Copies of this chain bind each other. A is one copy, B any other.
Amino acid sequence: MNIENYMREIGQNARAASRLLAAADSGQKNKALLAIADELKACQEQILAANALDMSAGRENGLDEALLDRLAIREQTIEQMVEGLEQISALADPCGEISDMSYRPSGIQVGKMRVPLGVVGIIYESRPNVTIDAASLCLKSGNATILRGGKEAFHSNQAIAKCIAAGLKSAGLPEEAVQVIETTDRAAVSAMITMPEYVDVIVPRGGKGLIERISAEAKVSVIKHLDGICHVYVDDKADLEKAKAIAINAKTHRYGVCNAMETLLLHESLKEEFLKALAEVYWQKGVQLRACEKSYASLKDVCSDPERLKPAEDADWDTEYLAPILAVKLVANMSDAMDHIAAHSSGHTESIVSEDYSRVRRFLAQVDSASVMANASTRFADGFEYGLGAEIGISTDKIHARGPVGLQGLTSQKWIVFGDGHIRD
Instruction: List chain A positions with a Cβ less than 8 A from chain B.
Output: 19, 22-23, 96, 102, 104, 106, 108, 110, 113, 115, 117-118, 200-201, 216, 219, 221, 239, 241-242, 245-246, 248-250, 253, 342, 351, 362, 364-366, 368-377, 379-381, 385-387, 397-400, 402-404, 412-424
Contacts and interface: CB of A to CB of B under 8 A. Distances in A.
Given A113-B365, A398-B118, A376 B419 contact: yes
Given A102-B387, A201-B399, A342 B420 contact: no
A21 to B, nearest CB: 11
A381 B416 contact: no
Nearest to A243: B421
A108, A219, A242 interface centre (most CB from chain B within 10 Å): A108
A371 B421 contact: no
Contacts of A342: 19
A208 to B, nearest CB: 15
Contacts of A387: 102, 104, 110
B374 A418 contact: yes
Contact of A23 (B22, B106, B365): B365
Given A108-B385, A423-B377, A414 B253 contact: no
- Assembly stoichiometry (copies): 2
A325 B345 CA distance: 54
A87 B383 CA distance: 39
B246 A415 contact: no
A106 B385 CA distance: 8
B415 A404 contact: yes
A30 B115 CA distance: 35
A221 B386 CA distance: 27
Given A387-B102, A423-B245, A118 B368 contact: yes
A420 B376 CA distance: 7
A251 to B, nearest CB: 11
The list of the 9 closest CB pairs from A to B, nearest first, reads: A376-B419, A242-B421, A249-B423, A373-B417, A379-B424, A400-B400, A398-B412, A371-B415, A221-B399
A104 B249 contact: no
A398, A402, A417 interface centre (most CB from chain B within 10 Å): A417
28 contacts: A22-B366, A23-B365, A104-B386, A110-B385, A113-B365, A115-B368, A117-B399, A118-B368, A118-B398, A216-B219, A239-B421, A242-B421, A246-B421, A249-B423, A253-B424, A370-B415, A371-B416, A374-B418, A374-B419, A375-B418, A375-B421, A376-B419, A377-B419, A377-B422, A377-B424, A399-B400, A402-B415, A403-B414
Contacts of A96: 365
Contacts of A364: 113, 416
Contacts of A423: 245-246, 248-250, 253, 376-377, 379
Contacts of A421: 239, 241-242, 245-246, 375-376
A168 to B, nearest CB: 19
A374 B420 CA distance: 8
A47 to B, nearest CB: 31
A373 B419 contact: yes
Contacts of A366: 19, 22-23
A22 B368 CA distance: 9
Contacts of A253: 423-424
A117 B402 contact: no
B417 A412 contact: no
Contacts of A221: 221, 397, 399
A6 to B, nearest CB: 23
Nearest to A360: B418
Contact of A372 (B117, B375, B397, B414): B414
A250 to B, nearest CB: 8
Contacts of A241: 421
Nearest to A253: B424
A373 B424 contact: no
Given A249-B424, A386-B104, A380 B412 contact: no
Contacts of A402: 412-415
